[in-house]
């Protein structure tokens, strides 16, 4: 299985992480239901200013399609950058970036 990735970079602006944790639960459920891969976790700035979400699976497009409606429904995800990586990390691996809510 090739290791495609979907990485979401977003502005958050709060130290109350409960909305983010709720979104993560919904992402895990959607990814599992679509059999698209797995949600791996997040990195959030200590001051809550921004963060990243990490997901992996065999098909970056399928994974992104599974989570897109949830990202578009979360107000704090407007303008987030979604990077679809088509293979394992490394030089020359194709990546496509899209923006949420645009």
Model confidence pLDDT, tens digit, residues 51-77: 999 999 999 999 999 999 999 999 999
Can you give the residue ranges of every domain in the chain? 4-99
CB atoms under 10 Å from CB of 50, counted, come to: 14
pLDDT mean over 7-19: 95
39-53 pLDDT tens trace: 999 999 999 999 999
SS3 track for 51-98: EEEEEEECCHHHHHHHHHHHHHHCHHHCCCEEEEECCCCCCCCCEEEE
Please give the structure tokens belonging to residue 49. Answer: 């200013």
Question: Domain 4-99, what fold?
Answer: Alpha-Beta Plaits (3.30.70)
pLDDT mean over 23-44: 96
Instruction: Say yes or no to pLDDT of 1 above 70.
Output: no
């Amino acid at each position: 299985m090739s290791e495609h990735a979907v990485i979401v970079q977003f502005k958050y602006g709060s130290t109350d992480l409960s909305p983010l944790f709720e979104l993560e639960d919904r992402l895990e459920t959607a990814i599992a239901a679509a059999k698209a891969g797995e949600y791996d976790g997040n990195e959030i700035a200590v001051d809550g200013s921004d963060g990243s979400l990490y997901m992996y699976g065999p098909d970056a497009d399928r994974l992104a399609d599974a989570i897109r409606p949830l990202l578009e429904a979360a107000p704090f995800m407007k303008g987030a950058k979604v990077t679809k990586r088509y293979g394992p990390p490394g030089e020359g691996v194709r990546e496509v970036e899209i923006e949420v809510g645009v």
